[in-house]
Amino acid sequence: MNIKIVCIGKLKNQALKQLCDELLKRLSRLEVIELKEVKGESIEKIKAKEYEQFKTFLEKDTHSILLSEHGKNYTTEQFHTTITKISSETLTFFVCGPYGPAENLKKEVKTILSLSAMTYTHEQALYMLLEQLYRHQCLCRGKEYGK
């Protein structure tokens, strides 16, 4: 399975960037696509422009997963089991900007995933997602991962 993570904005926090880079070295078959950050307009216009950027990656043969604090919570093992069962060739995760997802995006993705009931920056969410994908990869290979 190929995995894509499509996110708004680049990692500016150097400490988190370092951690993410380390996880990316360990993960195979993963592509992170950083889209241009939208600024300076009303929240609804920003969300609409972000949706337009995301739309390109909403392919029919892809299982799309949106990160949102309003999504379904999983333990690491449940997350592993859930994405292992997905039969799509590609799994695409969407990490929105600071105002959250547009309603259109919520309607078009197949799954809405919550990493926590709390709200995090897109940089923190990206790191936590990479960490869970690394743990998933370890479980697939029968390897131990640090707890």
pLDDT digits (tens, 9 = 90+) for 86-144: 988 899 999 999 899 999 999 999 999 999 988 899 899 999 999 999 999 999 988 87
pLDDT tens-digit readout, 16-33: 999 999 999 999 778 999
Closest C-alpha among 123, 136, 129 to residue 18:
123
pLDDT tens-digit readout, 48-87: 999 999 999 998 889 999 999 999 999 999 999 999 999 8
Q: Are 136 and 80 in contact (CB under 8 A)?
A: yes
pTM: 0.93
CA 144 – CA 147 distance, rounded (Å): 9
Domain edges within the chain: 2-33+43-141
Architecture per CATH, 2-33+43-141: 3-Layer(aba) Sandwich (3.40)
pLDDT computed for residue 57 by the predictor: 95
Lookup: tokens for 70: 């309003």
pLDDT computed for residue 61 by the predictor: 87
pLDDT computed for residue 93 by the predictor: 97
Is 138 exposed, middle or buried, given 0-12, 13-18 or 19+ CB atoms closer than 10 A? middle
